[in-house]
């Protein structure tokens, strides 16, 4: 089969046939089963973030290994997901435990195509995984709609939970009930949260939050009361909206922790009261992307959670790759949180 890809030129997609790549040692060729459209893909197409072009977007995918060169940790026939980027394992960030910030790393769906790396994103029939990519085998029983987001949304949530040190019995607040927020609710419940307050301006998303395990679903204007009543040991800000970031800092309890996850595009600055952070022993952490062990835990969580069907249902329309443009026609906040693409 000749590989095809939806190549993004900066203003439009074009479906192109691309040559089958010649693999270097440690490389893997994957036949894509399904890719889902992440929020960052939408930011790129909308012009809110810069991405070198031409490129193949897409970094939430699941697929099957069809070729391996050398020792890559997987075998032909394995069904896998993979990290959003590569890690060299030797630079200072890699040695310091943040391989997602590798100085020599390359990111799928975020880089310009080259002659030797053309199939570099998930909106394609095949993806060329280069050496240094973390891979995780996915159980055959996991639906593709559940497995594909593991490589971004689910693993990003796991990373945020790990970095904020969420413990059993913590009182949790989640701001923004998109794919990240709803996944965080299900994962916080899995980790033994004592209570979960979910905040979103959209009523349908608040209802979805309740289905996934939130004790309270509130609109932003009612957040302060809900957080005061239930407590906020760990606050996860998932939307990136400045007003939501401000609210996260306002409602966190004494000695609580705030994880900022959604701020991955330029926005207005948010003021901080340093005296309150100091006197109330508040910790603020940024969480971006994830490590391979986070992806391992993400797949394990998806395999064990009773919320699997609900999470899979967050992936809505399944479109053929040739109709990739339709996937970016957003119909509003209550539309499906992910659109799937298949060849």
pLDDT in tens, the chain (343 residues): 899 999 999 999 999 999 999 999 999 999 999 999 999 999 899 998 889 999 999 999 999 999 999 999 999 999 999 999 999 999 999 999 999 999 999 999 999 999 999 999 999 999 999 999 999 999 999 999 999 999 999 999 999 999 999 999 999 999 999 999 999 999 999 999 999 999 999 999 999 999 999 999 999 999 999 999 999 999 999 999 999 999 999 999 999 999 999 999 889 999 999 999 999 999 999 999 999 999 999 999 999 999 999 999 999 889 999 999 999 985 444 456 999 999 9
Spatial distance between the Cα atoms of 238 and 11, rounded to a whole number of angstroms: 28
pLDDT at 333: 43
Spatial distance between the Cα atoms of 334 and 331, rounded to a whole number of angstroms: 8
pLDDT at 208: 97
Q: Which residues pair with 311 in a beta bridge?
A: none
Cα dihedral sign for 301, 145, 59, 174? negative
Q: Which residues pair with 133 in a beta bridge?
A: 86
Q: Residue 279's Cα: distance from chain center in Å?
A: 34
pLDDT at 50: 86
pLDDT at 330: 59
Phi, psi angles (nearest 5°) of residue 46: -80, -10
Spatial distance between the Cα atoms of 330 and 45, rounded to a whole number of angstroms: 12
Is pTM beyond 0.95 here? yes
Q: Which residues pair with 172 in a beta bridge?
A: 196, 234
């Amino acid at each position: 089969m000749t590989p095809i890809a939806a190549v993004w030129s900066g203003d439009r997609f074009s479906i192109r046939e691309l040559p089958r790549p010649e693999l270097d040692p440690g490389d893997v060729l994957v036949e894509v089963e399904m890719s889902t459209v992440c929020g960052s893909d939408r930011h790129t197409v909308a012009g809110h973030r810069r991405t070198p072009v031409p490129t193949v977007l897409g970094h939430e995918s699941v697929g099957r290994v069809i070729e391996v060169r050398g020792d890559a940790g997987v075998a032909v026939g394995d069904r896998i997901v993979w990290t959003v980027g590569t890690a060299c394992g030797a630079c200072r960030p890699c040695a310091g435990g943040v391989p997602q910030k590798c100085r020599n790393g390359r990111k799928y769906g975020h880089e310009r195509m080259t002659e030797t790396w053309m199939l570099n994103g998930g909106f394609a029939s095949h993806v060329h995984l280069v050496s240094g990519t973390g891979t995780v085998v996915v159980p055959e029983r996991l639906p593709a709609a559940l497995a594909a987001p593991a490589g971004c949304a689910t693993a990003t949530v796991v990373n945020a939970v790990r970095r904020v040190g969420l413990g059993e019995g913590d009182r949790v607040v989640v701001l923004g009930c998109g794919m990240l927020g709803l996944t965080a609710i299900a994962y916080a419940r899995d980790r033994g949260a004592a209570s979960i307050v979910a905040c979103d301006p959209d009523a349908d998303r608040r209802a979805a939050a309740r289905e996934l395990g939130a004790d309270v679903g509130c609109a932003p204007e009612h957040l302060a009361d809900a957080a005061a009543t239930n407590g906020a040991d760990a606050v996860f800000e998932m939307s990136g909206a400045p007003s939501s970031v401000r609210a996260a800092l306002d409602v966190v309890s004494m000695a609580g922790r705030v994880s900022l996850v959604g701020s991955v595009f330029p926005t207005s600055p948010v003021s901080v009261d340093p005296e309150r952070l100091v006197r109330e022993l508040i910790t603020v952490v940024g969480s971006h992307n994830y490590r391979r062990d986070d992806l391992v835990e993400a797949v394990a969580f998806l395999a064990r959670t009773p919320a699997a069907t609900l999470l899979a249902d967050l992936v809505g329309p399944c479109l053929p790759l040739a109709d990739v443009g339709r996937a970016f026609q957003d119909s509003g906040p209550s539309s499906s949180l992910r659109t799937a693409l298949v060849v």
